[in-house]
Amino acid sequence: MTATLLTVFFLVYLGMILGGLPFLQLDRTGVALLGAIALVGTGVVSPEGAVAALHLPTLMLLFAFMVLSAQLRLGGFYAWVTRRLAAWPLRPALLLGALVGVVGALSAVFSNDVVCLAVAPVLIAACHRRGLALMPYLLGLACAANVGSAATIIGNPQNMLIGARLGLSFSGYLGEALAPVALSLLATWAIIVALTRGRWHEARAVDPSPAPLAAQDRRDEAEAGLDRWQAAKGLTVALALLGIFLFTAWPRELAALVGAGLLLTSRQLHSRRMLGLVDWELLVLFIGLFVVNHALEASGLLATGLDALAAVGLHLEQPGTLFAAAVVLSNLVSNVPAVMLLLPVATDPLAGPILALASTLAGNLLLVGSIANLIVADAAERRGLRLDWRTHARVGVPVTLATLAIAATWLLWRASLGAAA
C-alpha cells in the first residue's frame, strides 16, 4: 500500500509540475482526478475515506463565488467598469494606475481569473481606440489581478482554502493583508511605468487597425452591454455577503451558498448559462488533490518526511521557511497544490497570511504561474498580439521580487510585534 501511495503521489505532483503527464492527454485536473481514482480503486483509500477527505466548506465557497462572478459577467458589469475607466481623460501613466487600482479592488472580492477574462477584450478595444500601446495595460491587468486577489480570503481559490482550513476571520485576514497588497499594487504600477519608458502609444496609433481586429473589437463591444438589473442583483448579493463576512458569525460558505441560490433564482437568466460559466475543472482539481493529500497525511508518511527535513535543519513550520517554500512550490506545482501540501505545517499564528500572500504574489513570476496571466495572453493572441514568456518576464520578475519583498517585510514586522507582545 505504501509503495502504491508514494507512486500515485509522485505521479500526481509530477503532473502538477508539468501541467500534465507525458504521452497522455491529461491536464492538471485530469491527473489529480486519476490519482484519486487510483487510490480508491486500489483500496489505499476507502470510498468513505475519500468523501471524508473533501473539505466541503472550501468547495461550497468556491462554487458560490463562481456563480456570483458569472452573474456579474453575464450582467456586463466588468465590461461596463472597463469602458468607463478607459473613457476617463487621464494621461497614459495615470490611466494605468487607475486600471491597476480598479482591477486590484475587483479581484479582491471576485475571482481574479473571471475579472481578467471579462476585462481583457474590452481593455484591448479601448486601448485600440485611444491609440495606446497594449502591453503595459495587459501586463498591468494580469499583475494587478494576481496582487489584488491576495487582499481577502475570498479573492482566489487558494485563499478560500487557507481561510476555511485555518479558520481565519474575514476582517482579521483583511487587516493583515490590506497594507502589503496596497503597497504591492503601487509598486506594480511604478515598475510598469518605469519599464515602459514613455512609450505609451503605438507607432500606428492614428491609423485604423486591420479589419479583423476592428471587427473583433466591435463584437466585444456588442457583447459587453450593461444589464442594469442583473448587475445590480449581483452587486447587492456581493455587498450583503461582505457585510455578513465582516459583521456576523454566519459561516461564510453557507451565506455564500444562499447568495448563489438567490442569483440562480431568475426569470431572465437561465441557470444553464450561469452554471456554464462555473469552473467545474477547478472544483474537480480540488476534489482530486484533497483525496491524494489526505491519503499521504493519514498514512503518516508526511509526518515522517517533515521529521527528516527537521533533522537537517529545515523546519517548514517556521515563518521564513514557510514563506520561501510557498514561493518555490507555487512556481513548481501551481499555487493550489502548493498550499495543500503546506497546510499541515501551517501552525504559526501568521501562517495564514504567509501562505496566502506568498503563494498568490509568486504567481506573477512566470507566465504559466497564474491562470490570470494565461487568460490575458490568450486574449492578446486572439487579436494577433504576442505576449510570450519573455515579454511577461520583463515585468513579472521585478514585480514579483518587489511585491514579495514588501510582503516579507510587512510579515516580519508583524511577527516582531507579536513577539514583543
pLDDT digit string, tens, across residues 149-193: 999 999 999 999 999 999 999 999 999 999 999 999 999 999 999
Indicate if 30 and 150 belong to the same structural domain.
no
Query: Considering the domain boundaries, does residue 361 fall inside one?
Result: yes
Indicate if 294 and 319 belong to the same structural domain.
no
* pLDDT surpasses 60 at 313: yes
Contacts of 193 (CB under 8 A, 6+ apart): 93, 96, 136
* pLDDT surpasses 50 at 209: no
The pLDDT, as a whole number, for residue 203 is: 60
What's the pLDDT tens digit per position in 74-129?
999 998 999 999 889 899 999 999 999 999 999 999 878 889 988 999 999 999 88
Query: Considering the domain boundaries, does residue 386 fall inside one?
Result: yes
Supply the mean pLDDT for the chain: 90
Query: Considering the domain boundaries, does residue 222 fall inside one?
Result: yes
Cell numbers representing residue 300 in the block: 503518516
The pLDDT, as a whole number, for residue 368 is: 79
Could you tell me the sign of the dihedral formed by the alpha carbons of 60, 378, 324, 5, in that order? positive
Report how many domains make up the chain: 2
Tell me, rounded to whole angstroms, the distance of Cα 233 from its chain centroid. Answer: 24
Q: Could you list the residue range(s) of the whole structural domain that residue 2 is in?
A: 1-53+280-298
Query: Considering the domain boundaries, does residue 235 fall inside one?
Result: no
Indicate if 101 and 137 belong to the same structural domain.
yes
Strands (E), 325-419: none
Indicate if 84 and 205 belong to the same structural domain.
yes
Nearest of 254, 291, 253, 345 to residue 52 by alpha carbon = 291
Residue with cell 462555473: 278
Indicate if 217 and 359 belong to the same structural domain.
yes
Indicate if 367 and 285 belong to the same structural domain.
no
Indicate if 27 and 139 belong to the same structural domain.
no
The pLDDT, as a whole number, for residue 403 is: 98
Q: DSSP for 202-245?
A: -TTTTSPPPHHHHHHHHHHHHHT---HHHHHHHHHHHHHHHHHH
The pLDDT, as a whole number, for residue 333 is: 83
- DSSP 8-class letter at 131: T
The Cα 5–Cα 113 span in angstroms is: 33
Nearest of 33, 43, 50 to residue 2 by alpha carbon = 43
- Contact by Cβ (8 Å): 84, 319: no
Question: Rounded to two decimals, what is the model's pTM?
Answer: 0.88
What's the pLDDT tens digit per position in 37-67?
999 999 999 999 999 999 999 999 999 999 9
